[in-house]
Structure 1
Amino acid sequence: MSVSVKAVLIDLAGVLHTGDDALPGAVQALERLRASGLPLRFLTNTTRTPSTVLFAKLGRMGFKLQPAEIQTAALAARTLVHQRGLRPLWLVHPDIATEMGHSDPNPDVVVLGDMGHFTTYEALNRAFRLLMQGVPLLAMARNRYFQDPDGLSLDMGAFVTGLEYSAGVRAEITGKPARAFFQAALAELGVAASETVLIGDDLSADIGGAQAAGIQGWLVRTGKYRPGDEQHPEIKPDAIFDDFAAAVHCLLEAKTTG
Structure 2
Amino acid sequence: MINGVLLDLAGVIYDGEDLIAGATSAVARLHEAGLPIRFVSNTTRSIKQAILDRLEKFGLAVTSDELFTPAQAARDWLRRHDRSPYLLIHPDLASDFDGLAGSQDKAVVVGDAGEIFDYGTLNEAFRELIEGADFLALAPNRTFRDADGKLSLDAGAFVAALEFATQRRAIVLGKPSADFFVSALASMHCPKTEAVMVGDDAETDVAGALRAGLSGALLVRTGKYRRGDEKRFKPQPTATVNDISAAVEWIIANRNI
* Structure-2-length-normalised TM-score: 0.94
CA distance in 2, matches of 1:142, 1:51: 19
Contact 2:83–2:104 (8 Å) recurs in 1? no
Q: State the shift of 1:107 in Å.
A: 4.6
Q: How do 1:215-226 residues align onto structure 2 when only pairs under 5 Å count?
A: 215=214, 216-226=216-226
Structure 1 residue 224, shift from structure 2 partner: 1.1
- Whether the aligned pair in 2 keeps the contact of 1:89 and 1:104 (CA below 8 Å) is no
Structure 1 unaligned runs (5+)?
none
Equivalence for 1:146: 144
User: How far off its partner does 1:148 sit?
Assistant: 2.3
Q: Percent identity?
A: 41
**What is the deviation of 1:105?**
8.7
Question: Contact 1:89 / 1:107 at 8 angstroms: preserved in 2?
Answer: no
Q: How far apart in 2 are the matches of 1:186 and 1:33?
A: 16
Change beyond 3 A, Cα 1:233–1:163: closer
Partner SS for 2:175:
coil
- Corresponding residue number in structure 1 for 2:5: 8
3-state SS of 1:217 partner: strand
Q: Is 1:252 the counterpart of 2:257 in the alignment? A: no
In the TM superposition, residue 177 of structure 1 has moved relative to its aligned partner by 0.3
Question: Do 2:202 and 2:233's aligned partners in 1 also have CA atoms closer than 8 Å?
Answer: no
Give the C-alpha shift of residue 229 in structure 1.
1.4
Deviations along 1:156-186, one digit per CA (max 9) or x if unpaired, are: 0011000011111110000000111011112
Q: How does 1:10-159 map to 2 (within 5 A)?
A: 10-101=7-98, 106-150=104-148, 151-159=150-158
Residue 208 of structure 2 corresponds to: 209
Q: 1:143 is paired with a residue of what secondary structure? A: coil
- 1:189 counterpart SS class: coil
Amino acid at match of 2:241: F
The DSSP-based 3-state class of the residue aligned with 2:187 is helix
C-alpha offsets along residues 92-137 of structure 1, whole Å, 9 cap, x if unaligned? Answer: 2111212212656955211111111222322211110111223221
CA distance in 2, matches of 1:84, 1:212: 26
1:203-256: CA deviation from partner (whole Å, max 9, x where unpaired)? 11001110011111111111111111122363311111010100101222344x
Structure 1 outlier segments of 4+, above 4 Å? 102-107
Between the aligned partners of 2:36 and 2:221, the Cα distance in structure 1 is 24
Structure 2 alignment gaps of length 5 or more: none
| Aligned twin of 1:164 | 163
Q: Secondary structure at the match of 1:191?
A: coil
| Residue in structure 1 matched with residue 239 of structure 2 by the alignment | 239
**Structure 1 residue 8: Cα displacement:** 0.2
Distance across 2 between alignment mates of 1:33 and 1:112: 34
Distance of aligned partners of 1:118 and 1:33 in 2 relative to their CA distance in 1, 3 Å threshold: same
Indicate if the aligned counterparts of 1:137 and 1:171 stay in contact, CA closer than 8 A: yes
Q: What's the C-alpha RMSD, in Å, of the aligned pairs?
A: 1.7
Contact conserved, 1:89 with 1:103, CA < 8 A, in 2? Answer: no
- How far off is 1:12 after superposition? 0.4
- Whether the 8 Å CA contact 1:50–1:96 is kept in 2: the answer is yes
- Structure 1 counterpart of 2:247, which letter? A
What is the aligned length? 254
Larger mean Cα displacement after TM superposition, 231-240 or 149-158:
231-240
